[in-house]
Amino acid sequence: MSSALRKPVGRPHRRGRSSRTAMSPLGAVGRGLVAGAAGTLAMDALWFARYRRAGGDSDFAEWEFSSGVCSWDQAPAPAQVGKRLVEGLFKRELPASRAALVNNITHWVYGMLGGTQYGIVAGSLDHPRVRYGVPFGASVWAAGYAVLPAAKLYKPIWEYDKKALAKDLSAHLVYGVGTATTFGLLSRSRGATA
Q: Where are the alpha helices (DSSP H) in the chain?
A: 25-53, 60-64, 77-90, 99-123, 133-150, 162-190
The pLDDT of 139-153, averaged and rounded, is 92
Report the chain's mean pLDDT, rounded to a whole number: 88
Write down the pTM of the prediction: 0.84
pLDDT in tens, 155-165: 999 999 999 99
Task: Name which of 133, 159, 134, 154 is nearest 144 in CA terms.
Answer: 154
Query: Does the pLDDT value for residue 134 go beyond 60?
Result: yes
Query: Does the pLDDT value for residue 194 go beyond 60?
Result: no
Q: Is 35 exposed, middle or buried (0-12, 13-18, 19+ CB in 10 A)?
A: buried
Query: Does the pLDDT value for residue 89 go beyond 80?
Result: yes
Query: Does the pLDDT value for residue 133 go beyond 50?
Result: yes
CA–CA separation, 175 and 109 (whole Å): 14
With beta carbons less than 8 A apart as the criterion, state whether 40 and 176 touch. Answer: no
* The predicted structure's pLDDT at residue 19: 46
* The predicted structure's pLDDT at residue 158: 95
The pLDDT of 69-94, averaged and rounded, is 92
Query: Does the pLDDT value for residue 6 go beyond 80?
Result: no
Any idea of the CA torsion for 61, 171, 166, 121, to the nearest 10 degrees? -150
* The predicted structure's pLDDT at residue 15: 46
- What separation in angstroms does the CA of 116 have from each of 93, 98, 105? 30, 26, 16
